[in-house]
Amino acid sequence: MLQSIIWSDGVLQLLNQTLLPAKVEYISCRDWQTVAEAIRRLEVRGAPAIGAAAAFGLVLGARELITDKEKFWTGLTEIAAALRKTRPTAVNLFWAIDRMLLVASRYDQGTDPAIVVAALEDEAKAIAAEDKEVNKKISLYGAQLFTRDEYAVLTHCNAGALATVAFGTALGVIRQAWSEGKIKRVFVDETRPLLQGARLTAWELAQENIPVTLITDNMAGWVMKKGMVQAVLVGADRIARNGDVANKIGTYSVAVLAKEHGIPFFVAAPVSTFDFTIASGADIPIEERSADEVSSFGGIRVAPDGIDIFNPAFDVTPNEYITAIITEYGVLRPPYDQAIADLANSEKIKIRR
C-alpha cells in the first residue's frame, strides 16, 4: 500500500495526489511553505492527511528558526497561522496545529529552540503513528456493522490510505470487511469536480484487487433504485456536536438518496474530526474553490466563457440521514448529541486531547 506521507531524514515526502493515477510522484518538502502550498493545491488531501502534513510543516518551519532565539516564538505562531489558512473545512488541520502548539507551550521562552524543535518533531511523528492505529480500530469496529455476507457498498470521494497516514477511514472499513468476506463489490462515485473517487478510490481498490465499479455522481440514485448497493460508507471533514457531518460535496445528495431507498448511511471518522466547539453543521466553514474546477474537465473548457459558477468543495449532511458514525472508540448511534457528549466527556479522550 502506497503511503501518502513519509517523514524521513528530516524531509517530508508527500505523494502528489493531483497526478494520480497517471503518475506516482512524491514532492520533497524541506520548508513549511512547500507543505502549505501542497495542502492548498490538494497535492496532499483528506482530513487526517492534511492534519499530519501540517504538523510536519510546523516542524520544518520551527527548524528554520532554530538559530534565532529572538524570533523563534513569534515565528512559530506566524507559521502556525499561515498553515491554518490553507484550507478551512477539515478540522483535523486545526486539531493537529493546536496539538503541536500545546507541546511548544510547555517550554518557557528561554528554552533552547533546538529542544522545542525536537519535541515538535516527536509530536508530529506521534500524530502520524496514532492515525495508523486509529484507522485500524475504526476498520475493525466498522466491519462489525456488516452482518450479512455479500454486501455491495457505495462510497463517495476518497477516505482511503491516501486521505490518511495509512489504511483510511471509510476505505479502511471496506478493506477490513472485504478481507472478512462481507463485501463483494464497491461502487465508487467519480466525485466531480476533482474526481477523487475515479482517480484515487478506484485506484486504491483496484491495486488490492477489490472489485470496484466506477459510476458518475448522478448515477448513484439509479444504482440504489436497482438494488445494487446495500450500504453507503463515507469519511468526514468535520462533525458537529449534534452529529451533522461535513464531507466532500455530493455526500449530502447520496445521504438523501440512501434514506429514500432504505439503505444505511455510515460515516467513518476519527475523534480528531469531531469539532466539539460547534453545536451544528450550520457553523462549519465550507471551502469554495476556483471556478476553473467546474468550468473545465480534464483541462478542457466545457462551459461558456463568463458564466457564473458556484464551487463549494464540501456539504453538510444533517444528522437525521446518518445511520451510525464509526470512530476508534466504537460506533455512535442516534441521538448523536448524547452520544457525542458522552464521547467528548470520556476519560480516554481527555487524556489524548
Q: Which positions touch ligand MRU (CB under 6 A)?
A: 42, 45-48, 90, 157, 159, 163-164, 169, 196, 235-237, 247-248, 313
**In terms of Cα–Cα distance, which of 273, 225, 216 is closest to 247?**
273
Q: Could you confirm whether 283 is annotated as catalytic?
A: no
| Closest to 328 (Cα-Cα) out of 346, 306, 302, 301 | 346
What is the identity of the amino acid at 202? A
Q: Is 248 annotated as a binding residue?
A: yes
Q: Note the helical H segments in the chain.
A: 32-40, 47-64, 72-84, 91-105, 113-143, 170-179, 202-207, 220-225, 251-260, 292-295, 336-345, 347-352
Q: In angstroms, rounded to a whole number, what is the distance separating the alpha carbons of residues 106 and 99?
A: 11
Q: Work out how close the CB of 47 gets to ligand MRU at its nearest, in angstroms, rounded to a whole number.
A: 4
Of 61 and 270, the one with the shorter C-beta distance to ligand MRU is 270
Residue closest to ligand MRU, measured at CB: 235
Q: Please, what is the minimum distance in Å from the beta carbon of residue 235 to ligand MRU?
A: 3
Which amino acid, 342? D
Buried b / exposed e across 318-352, counting CB within 10 Å, b at 16+? bbebbbbbbbbbebbeeebeebbeebeeeeebeee
Would the annotation count 87 as a binding residue?
Answer: yes
Least distance to ligand MRU, CB of residue 58, Å:
19
Residue 196, marked binder = yes
Shortest distance in whole angstroms from residue 12 CB to ligand MRU: 17
Pairing of strands 151-155, 26-29: unpaired
Would the annotation count 247 as a binding residue?
Answer: yes
Which of 17, 120 has the CB closer to ligand MRU?
17
Cβ closest to ligand MRU, residue 158 vs residue 323: 158
Of 42 and 229, nearer to ligand MRU (C-beta) is 42
Catalytic residue among 237, 244, 275, 315: 237
Alpha-helical (H) ranges within 145-301 are 170-179, 202-207, 220-225, 251-260, 292-295
47 is in an annotated binding site: yes
State the binding site for substrate: 45-47, 87, 196, 247-248
Q: Which residues are catalytic?
A: 237
